[in-house]
Structure 1
């Protein structure tokens, strides 16, 4: 972590919610690290409804399994370079030489199973175009209601809808798409809103009211 240390934060009602020096309330995980704070303030939970964006998010969520999101976020520029900007058509055409290239790339997470899943999922994304496309499939699992957590303990890590989405994606040939990973995807792309009620980002997606 780099940069000048932030001033000591003040706590809101929930100790997991931190009011920063700018007066805005955020969850503790997004309160101090400048990279995570920017990601939380500008990107996390905002709607992603295009094929390219969803393929990238599914890929990065798979790479994140077992690691911190901060690790993946710091490596995201390198991931984008290594995977041709997450263009599904280009990644779908990868062969053995590309797999070896990726395994030798110190800028990304060099996990063979996850790299192979990225290629598998690119090919599945391309095939899905004949069945309505990836965005239509993913967003069809938007639930009728979203969680309204006041504390971290109230934020679910799976749901019936994330389990159903994972099963549907697996049926279409996707890999590394378990219920927990897909729940994280649904949070990240705005399908559900799990911002804490005290957070300044609650309700900002335009999908769900605060």
Structure 2
């Protein structure tokens, strides 16, 4: 969560999308971003509450009030805000804000993608640099597990076995040891 003294006015000019009419804040975890988007575009904001399995739930009164208070503190017109209790009704949103959804293991890969994006924006991304940065992912354990599972899913057990052997030569890994035993 951003601090209460965060100055959103410094960010508003950098939001360069065409138009945003609706924002969904999943479980009220990003009220500051809702404030930014509302001030920039005047969009509608919906609070969507989901349980741990992603099913719609009624938000607790205390969390709803805290979220609304933060929006009001940021200068959001509360008439454009609503709590959506039927999240699965097919309503479309221009922006969906969600955090803490088991993305921690992807952070290393996200850092590589961030380097690629920053280089592309700066205009100094070469084809060689792009491929070098993408190859950095190959050393990440999650990428390696996904590669082995993808080989199995696509009907290539020999390739999965080679991936396991390659990883086990580098380090002892329980996942690859078990997969190799199964193959």
Question: RCO (CA 8 Å, sep 6+): is it higher in 1 or 2?
Answer: 1
Q: Based on CA coordinates, which of the two structures has the bigger radius of gyration?
A: 2
The structure with the largest strand share of the pair is 2
Give the TM-score category using the shorter length: under 0.3
TM-score computed with the length of structure 2 as normaliser = 0.21
